[in-house]
Structure 1
Amino acid sequence: MMVVAACVGREQEIATILARSHAARRTEFMMIIGERGIGKSTLLTHLANRHNESADTARTLYAQASASDHQSAGGVLRQLTQSSDASRAALADVLGDLDAPTLITIDDAEFVDEESMQTLLAVIREQRDRPTLVVMSMTPSTIGRPPGLLADELRLRGIAAPAVAELAAQRGIVLHPAMLESLTRHTGGNPRHIVSLLDELPAGTWSRTGIALPAPSYLVDDVRTRLHKCSAPARALVESLMIVDEGEPLSTAVTLAGLDAPLAALDEAGDSGLITLGAALTPADAQPRPTDPLIRAAVLEIMGMEAVGAAHRRAAELVSDPARRMHHQVSATPTTDSELANDLDDLARRRSADGAWAEAAGLFRQAARLTSDPVPRDTRVTLAVDALLAAGDCVGAAALVPLVESLRETPLRNATLAYLAILRGRAAEARVRLDRAWDIVNFDREPDIAALIAQRYVLHNLVRCQGDELVEWADRAITMAGSQSPAGVEAAVIRGLGLAWSGRPAEATAEYADLTDRIRFGAQAQRATMGRGWLQLGLDDVGAARSNLETAVSMATLGGSTRISLWALAWLARTQFLTGDWESALHNVEQGRALARSSGIELASPLLNWTATAIHSLRGDWPDAELSVADAATSVGDYEIMRIPELLARAQIAEAAADYEKVRRILEPLVTMAADVPGLAEPGWWPWVDVLANALVIGGELESADALLTPYETLAEQRGHRSASARLKYARGRYLGAIGDIHQAKRAFSEALELLDGLPLRYDRARVNFAYGQTLRRAGKRRAADAVIGTARELFVSLGATTYVERCERELKAGGLNVSRGERGDVELTPQEEAVTALVARGLSNREVAAELFISPKTVQYHLTRIYAKLGVRSRSELAALRRPSTAE
């Protein structure tokens, strides 16, 4: 057994190759392509070990070629045969006649000697029908295959941040989340680079943030060697390209390098591997840049501080963009400079006004470094954190929180820390900090700070689902800051939701129409578009909602906010769930989850998990559903916009499992919450009343169901909200059927379906049809019930909701019209008795069977008594044993 270094972050690749090996029915080839240091050797040795462990009869051959093997005839073949015999017969004998999967791994295959390769291919072709997988690793720059060799490729990329954290933990290093992201990005996830930096840099480095990481020493030595091989013009061009920003034209670097004829130098620099020319084929298309961040760091280290500073000063005189000019000036300035700091502060404020918060955050932080006066310095540090939060970078902002908390108390400091608390879902902390900020702000001297605090109250009340308070604070913020200010615009784009939750949906619609016409570009436009999509979803304009939410998601690449992108993804996924596009919904959920993890924003996670839970439970993917609920529970703060979807997700699993008593227990707290939370009580925003009322009816609590439904039915009718009214009529139909008023029940269900007609809400239509059919069957209308449940089944089939497809099929069997006598077995059981038998044999209690079949527990017991007598059994366990073969399906 080979002993190798830990293999971190490669489980998926190893599992993929092992599955390919075990599934092989004949000889197949695979190439593992990856840069040096990416972990090809470690992966192959772990793969060989795992293959050996996977089956006693599996055969694994391993070889690692080297540059010396290239000239040594048969060298790799001797490794494979584990002998001095490099003959064709020796390899054939090693492979033997086993039918078990054989894995042959060859590391650094570019160095395999020709004799070994030709012999290996000849033997394998002779035995091409045996199950063999040949896996060879190569670096991209040396890929060369023997003629006629067809091989699949697996490109080995850098490891992800969690694996980087694991590598650090193995060395006793805990990385700050911001530093973890920086290290992963800086190294491209290359394990060799990561391990080298972890070992070389002082331990204190990893608890800091916002610092530029160097290159590993071995890479610095390699780059120094390559630079020394370059001519003076090529070296000057390489060094200049490390100084100028990526967006600058080539002419800036050429001028900085002092070159008159740059093309020869450009070719030489490209050949050195220190820069990349991309896909350029002509000088006009050339956009050279450093090969990667590590190359840039290595070149700058080799140049030295003095040369780098001088280059930045010269570059500042060449560039025209003010932000880039100041970037070079800052890079060349090691001490404080009040004039430059003031210029940076002014530019940062202009960038903030445009919604370019990430750029503004960097400018504010640089301005703070160059400021000697502690009062403006503290303000600029705080504004840097605030801008990071506005950009949605909670991880980066949190890294600076200890510094901000150490500063003197100011209204801005409290408002910024409240902002972070809001994004992390901490309502109580946010309220305390906002109240304190509002109490100490001077409205005459700090009107902009007062407006900022008011805008934070707007956000606070948004995630509390408070309508009137949201509108009140939005109006204050707009009055104080002006409608065109960043605080005023953000307050305005949220205000419409407050209007809708205050019972003024028409005003909200008009306001968003005006906003999206007025604000067409940048991050503020993303806010307006997302808010409008959220409103439209709540008001049943589903097609327009999807369009606007998709637009808001796409605007993330044009300077949008991570926070707004998260909400757009969450509500877009919800829209896709309701309309039946479940694969797209899950894709957007995963995108949202990844964004939430990288940004540190927790507010939208329960909403994302609610959609995932619904889809998984309806598909019968119970482990995934439970994982989503568990994930939601870990991220739930004390804001209503987090607590509500977490409860709805848990109720969704219980309803899909027909555990209506559990549904009731989960959702009953919402009855009390709705009295104080307008966004929860307004029709169309959170579908909980119908779910709870349905559970109450099935549990026999008819008076409670009626009392719950009545006020919400009145409100939905007043608002003219179609889908909310349809959902309530669905529950009302259940109630009417339960009290025996089948005529009014049929009317309620029919009206629900009419309200849904024309709306693309496939899941809601399926639910209504299913409940309608169950109610008809209970009333003895078997033929009508079959038709309606058949419609429900087709809808559930189209959605992939296997949980309810199976329930529909049981309902159809219980109805008896679609079951032949031969299907009932030797003993004559009625269709209803057959359904009860199947569920009891699965281990369900009488109450659970009653909920599943929409009958009373007493009726279940009546059927069981008859079933026992007919089948000659005396207990549930005997019944289960008798029916075990049929229940296995």
Structure 2
Amino acid sequence: MSGPVSGYGDAVPHHPPVVGRREVVDDLLAAVATGVDRSVLVVVDGAPGMGTTAVVDAVAAAFAGRLPHASVTRVAAVPWESTVPFGIVGQLTPGADWAVDAPDSVEDARSFAAAVSPDDGPPVLIVVDDAHDADPESLQLLASMVRHVRSRGITVVCSRHLRPAGSPAAQDILDKAADECVTVAPLTVSDVSELAAVRGVVLPQSAAAHLLQHTGGRPRHIVALLEETPRATWRGSRAHLPAPAFVESRIRAELSRSDPTTRALAEAVAIMSTPTSIPVVCAVSGVGDPWDALDTAVASGLVLVHHRPTAILLETPDPMVRAAILATVSLSERSRLHRRAVDVVEDQADALAHIVESMPLPDDSVSAQLVALAGERAAKGEWGSAARLYELSSRSSRDPAARDERLVLAVDAMIGAGDVPGAAAYSAEIESLRETPMRNAVLGYLAILRGRPHEAEERLRRAWESVRTRHDPHTAAIVCHRQVLHNLARCHGGELVMWADRAVELVGADDATAVEAQSIRGLGLGGTGRTAEALSSYSDLWSHASTGAVGQRVQMGAGWLHLAADRVDTARAELESASPTDFLGGSTRISLWAHAWLGRTYFLTGEWDAALRVVGAGIDLVDRSGSVLIAPLLHWTATQIHALRGDWRKAENSARDGDAGARDYEIMRVPACLAHAAMSEARADYPGVLRALAPLTEEWAADDISEPGFWPWADVYANALVVEGRLDEAEGFLDIHERRATVADHRSTQARLGYARGRLHGARGDLDAARASFDSALGDLADLPLIYDRARVNFAYGQTLRRAGKRREADVVISAARECYLSIGASTYVARCDRELKAGGMRAVLRDRPLDALTPQEDAVAALVSTGLSNREVAAELFLSVKTVQFHLTRVYAKLGIRSRAELAAKASAG
């Protein structure tokens, strides 16, 4: 169980990162690298089957590969040795006696360190696998060793399963002792596809998403099902997946050990498929007193308990456990349990579903009931429930034409609920059906959420051309609604409003389809400069929209518009209400939009940790739902925050994940451009900013995309033009966008453009005009909670003052910018502010041994050049001309007696 994995590293090959684990491996490697110079204890968390062992293996191999002289030792804990004192330590130091209860724990820690890492020895990596089962004494000694011999360079990596696994004492020690914690998260849809491809299985995205949902993203379970399931399973519509053999074996063993009451309870919970109250489970299972059986079922991993304010709900721990339990129940017994459930469930949809599950043959009367109820749920915007009912009605229909029609409606409802993979699983089947307006509308709807504008355009054109508006106004209104969504994604506000109005003309303002179209209509009005009318339209819409799923749509649209209109606090409240997906059948699609704009709201108000949490949840939802249309919008905010915090690896990964091409929707292309521009600007790479935003200067972006308030790009572009010395271009560009902002009376846009205008005046030497622009910008922002924008204005203002020689004034303004940036964690700009303050010389912190009396500005130039920046890059960073940088650099060389940048770098490195 123990011993050096690599000796001094040459016995371990360098393994590539585990599939889907590149980021967590990089995070863990960064933590482990710290231990080369400073002892650290790192805990790697992950659920059983999540692949923590594989991740730690990859890191250990990479550590040994990068440091061939290092010592890597691996041990593993097991449950039956968790009470053996110093059992893990004994594996690390065979033959040593650590069981003595010595009074001096610090001395013990130092002695142990000497045993595993002699003085002047190579770096040491100790891996403790399944540390949740380790004896507490060993973990205490390892933790004390790390704390008391920090200078020795010993890294301890403990992998563990999350609670409640293992010993509580061991978990508590790991929680308290960890210097860093790294979590191995579930795989994503793309990871599952890659994992399948490695094994020669080509998975459609819908099948990968289904497999992900079934397994919870656990690699061990995914691999097992890929190997055990016939490949035909992954083709066509969504299949009923079994449990992996090792899961089914465990569940069968638990059931065989259980008494009849426990088994009956577990079977009833599995039959219900959704969290169910105890009285209903008791009625279905025939169990009178469930408590002892429930305790046993929970302890055996057969049942989970959820405590709610109004009820205690039961369900299986995951779909695989449910499948494993049902595999032990005969078909006749399943039918009997479903018939029992019909009489006790409260929701009519659940009762009808159990009827269908108990029927041996299709039944048109049941199918008709399902269709009627599905229509009612769809009218309320409860698309998840409607999709389930339409799907069951298709399955229970005898008539092939009705079966096809109801399957199309089921897929449409799936898309409405945001279940793109579920809908995509049926796309081939839908394609094979007779062409109808509704069929084309559904396929166009699916293309929109998959980010395919040209396919959506063609599908929706054919749907509208073939629909008979007089005879089938409802289907025509549905086509109009799809056109509304399509034009929202194209950023074509005028077209959007036209199609929304047409939907109302066809079916009336109170129809659910018309209400949903109107919930987006306000965004089209706002995008075409009719903001007051747009805001009024949302006030009127509340009379037609109830709470719940329909209200969710109105909240999202109103929140998006209020954010664009500088009503930030109102937007925040509305978007927070629209973000959850726990409405009755509420739409994941609407929730995703709300996540994206709520994250943006938090970004602007400086709540960056909250913003990252919200967009992170949204990105996870994108991965599960397959709605790639909204991914770039989420990644824009994540990229910008990571860049401003100086976390370049995360920023680059996020920008890459949110990329979009010329054939994608505009709603994808714009935030992708902004993400790359934000990353370039944080690096003071202003040519990069201009390249990133160049597409937005083209004709396709001239209207809605440049409407004040919606996409904050014009000021970023203008600022880069000024810094690059393209002053005449900046003048013409600003004139156009300032006129639009004035007409709209949009304060935050006027402020953003005002700081770029102030830069331009400063670059031309007109300091009075520059002051007026900057002061006006700060005045526009005074009562808006836009802390990031306020910091940007002050930073540009301070740079302009310092360039004009007003160092004392510049010091005050740059200090204000620094405080804003510091409060929101923008470390990249905090460092730039520090360099500005140093270059100004008023608050410069002098070194103990200044470099031959360099002036503050010469010192700032020298410091940046010594890091490898070009003169042009230094000029952009310090807002100087390239000639000025060259002048300062020449003086630096003369004062220091050097002749090259390499000599300057060497001198700086030497202190």
Which TM-score tier does this pair reach, normalised by the shorter chain?
Answer: 0.7 to 0.9
Rate the CA distance shift 1:208–1:81 in 2: closer, same or farther, 3 A: farther
In the TM superposition, 1:37-186 aligns within 5 A as: 58=71, 60=73, 62=75, 97-99=115-117, 103=126, 160-161=187-188, 168-186=196-214
Aligned residue runs from structure 1 range 234-633, under 5 A: 235-244=263-272, 246-258=274-286, 261-263=288-290, 266=293, 270=297, 273=300, 275-276=302-303, 278=305, 287-290=313-316, 292-516=318-542, 519-554=545-580, 556=582, 559-633=585-659
How far is the alpha carbon of 1:228 from its aligned partner?
5.5
User: SS of the residue aligned with 1:603?
Assistant: helix
Is the Cα contact below 8 Å between 2:504 and 2:514 reproduced in 1?
yes
For residues 835 and 95 of structure 1, the distance between their equivalents in structure 2, rounded to whole angstroms, comes to 44
List runs of 5+ in structure 2 lacking aligned partners. Answer: 6-11, 101-107, 119-123
Report the Cα distance in structure 1 between the residues aligned to 2:896 and 2:847, rounded to whole angstroms: 16
> Does the CA-based 8 Å contact 1:619-1:802 persist in structure 2?
yes
Deviation by residue 1:304-334 (Cα, 9 ceiling, x = unmatched): 2233223323433444532122111111234
1:708-857 residue pairs with structure 2 within 5 A?
Answer: 708-819=733-844, 825=850, 827=852, 829-857=854-882
- 1:886 maps to which residue? 908
Counterpart residue identity of residue 523, structure 2 = L
Q: 1:743 to 1:433 in 2, by over 3 A?
A: same
What is the SS of the residue equivalent to 1:278?
A: strand
Distance in 2, Cα, partners of 1:74 & 1:868: 61
Report the alpha carbon displacement of residue 725 of structure 1 after superposing the two structures with TM: 1.1
**Secondary structure in 2 matching 1:626:** helix
Read off the aligned partner of 1:723 and give its amino acid letter. Answer: S
Aligned equivalents of 2:171 and 2:821: distance in 1? 50
What displacement does 1:699 show?
Answer: 3.0
Give the CA deviation at 1:362: 2.0
Is contact 1:501-1:679 (8 Å) kept?
Answer: yes
- 2-side partners of 1:746 and 1:602: how far apart? 44
Q: Residues 278-303 of structure 1, C-alpha deviation per residue, up to 9 Å, x if partnerless? A: 3789xx97655445544433343333
Q: Which range moved further: 637-646 or 24-33?
A: 24-33
> How far off is 1:257 after superposition?
4.4
Question: What CA deviation, in whole Å up to 9, does each residue of 1:501-541 have, x standing for no partner?
Answer: 22221121122233346534212211111111111111111
From the superposition, tell whether residues 339 and 703 of structure 1 become closer, same or farther in structure 2 (CA, over 3 Å): same
1:693 paired with 2:718, answer yes
Structure 1 match to 2:681: 655
Alpha-carbon distance in 2 for matches of 1:882, 1:469: 60
SS at match of 1:881: helix
**Any idea what SS the aligned residue of 1:808 has?**
helix
Sort the Cα spacing of 1:887 and 1:735 in 2 relative to 1 into closer, same or farther, 3 A.
farther
Look up the equivalent residue of 2:117 and give its one-letter code: D
After superposition, give the CA deviation of every residue in 1:201-249 in whole Å (9 maximum; x if it has no partner). 3221233442222234565566556556666565555444433454554
Give the AA of the match of 2:740.
L
Cα RMSD of the aligned pairs, angstroms, is 4.7
Contact preservation (8 Å) 2:76, 2:131:
no
Give the 3-state SS of the residue equivalent to 1:456 in structure 2: helix
Contact 1:393 1:562 in 2 (8 A): yes
**CA pair 864-548 structure 1, distance change in 2 beyond 3 A:** same
Q: Structure 1 residues 833, 514: closer, same or farther in 2, change over 3 A?
A: same
Q: Distance in 2 between matches of 1:39 and 1:853?
A: 47
Q: Which 5+ residue runs of structure 1 have no aligned equivalent? A: none
Counterpart CA distance in 2 for 1:149 and 1:845 is 51
CA displacement at 1:107 relative to structure 2 = 7.0
User: Which range moves more in the overlay, 250-259 or 207-216?
Assistant: 250-259
What TM-score, normalized to structure 1? 0.84
Please state how far the C-alpha of 1:453 moved relative to its aligned partner.
0.8
> Partner residue of 1:666?
692
Amino acid at match of 1:691: V
Aligned to 1:681: 706
- The Cα of 1:714 is off from its aligned counterpart by 2.4
Indicate the SS of the match to 1:511. Answer: helix
Q: Give the deviation of 1:801 after TM superposition.
A: 2.5
Query: For residues 623 and 127 of structure 1, what CA distance do their matches in structure 2 show?
Result: 32
Query: In 2 relative to 1, CA 244–78 (structure 1 residues): closer, same or farther, beyond 3 Å?
Result: same
Cα deviation 1:588-607 (Å, max 9, x = unaligned)? 22222211122111222222
CA distance in 1, matches of 2:797, 2:162: 63
**1:708-757: CA deviation from partner (whole Å, max 9, x where unpaired):** 22232222222221111112222222222233332222212111111111
- Rg larger for: 1
Moved more, 710-719 or 310-319: 310-319
In structure 2, relative to structure 1, the CA distance for the partners of 1:853 and 1:167 (3 Å cut) is closer
Cα separation, 2, equivalents of 1:24 and 1:829: 34
CA contact (8 A) 1:27 1:124 kept: no
Find the residue that maps to 1:330 and give its secondary structure. helix
Residue 266 to residue 885, structure 1, CA distance change in 2 (3 Å)? same
Q: Distance in 1 between matches of 2:845 and 2:75?
A: 61
Matched, 1:200 2:222: no
Q: How many residues align?
A: 872
CA separation in 1, counterparts of 2:832 and 2:257? 74
Q: Secondary structure at the match of 2:805?
A: coil
CA pair 105-405 structure 1, distance change in 2 beyond 3 A: same
| Residue identity opposite 1:716 in structure 2 | A
> 2-side partners of 1:632 and 1:246: how far apart?
34
Give the secondary structure class of the aligned counterpart of 1:666.
helix
Q: Distance in 2 between matches of 1:566 and 1:194?
A: 27
Contact preservation (8 Å) 2:491, 2:667: yes
- Shift in Å at residue 169 of structure 1? 4.5
Q: Deviations over 1:570-622 (max 9, x none)?
A: 11121222222222222222222211122111222222222222223323333
Over 3 Å counting, the alpha-carbon distance change for 1:255 and 1:167 in structure 2 is same
Distance in 2 (alpha carbons) for counterparts of 1:140 and 1:181: 27
| C-alpha displacement of 1:13 | 9.4
